[in-house]
Amino acid sequence: MMIKESTLAAVAVSVVCDRCGQTCPSDDGHPQHAVLSAAWKSGSQQNPEAYELHLCESCFFATLSTIKRERWAQLMFSEEADSLLSDANFGRSDGA
């Protein structure tokens, strides 16, 4: 949940993790958090729903780990399964 302060432009002054309920730490006034979002469109069973969840660093990596384990469970009898668990770049988008 993002808490905003009313000014000329809405600026996030605090972010509360939607998983654990703790306030996300700030770095120079900029809350450090991850955003999990979805905007379902026409053709989806959830049309026209939209979601936006804010996660602290700890909860983000716990959620990422859960997704990785669930993917592994689907692949556990394939050759790809073991390499998935050791893939440190799973989900990364920064080119690392």
What pLDDT was estimated at residue 7? 65
What pLDDT was estimated at residue 61? 95
Tens digits of residue pLDDT in 41-64 = 888 887 788 999 999 999 999 999
End-to-end CA, the chain: 29
Write down the pTM of the prediction: 0.76
Percentage of the chain surpassing pLDDT 70?
92
Amino acid of residue 61:
F
Task: Give the single-character DSSP code of 25.
Answer: P
Please give the Cα distance from 2 to 9 (Å, whole number). Answer: 15
**Which residues of the chain carry a pLDDT beneath 50?**
none
CA atoms within 13 A on the CB side of 30: 3
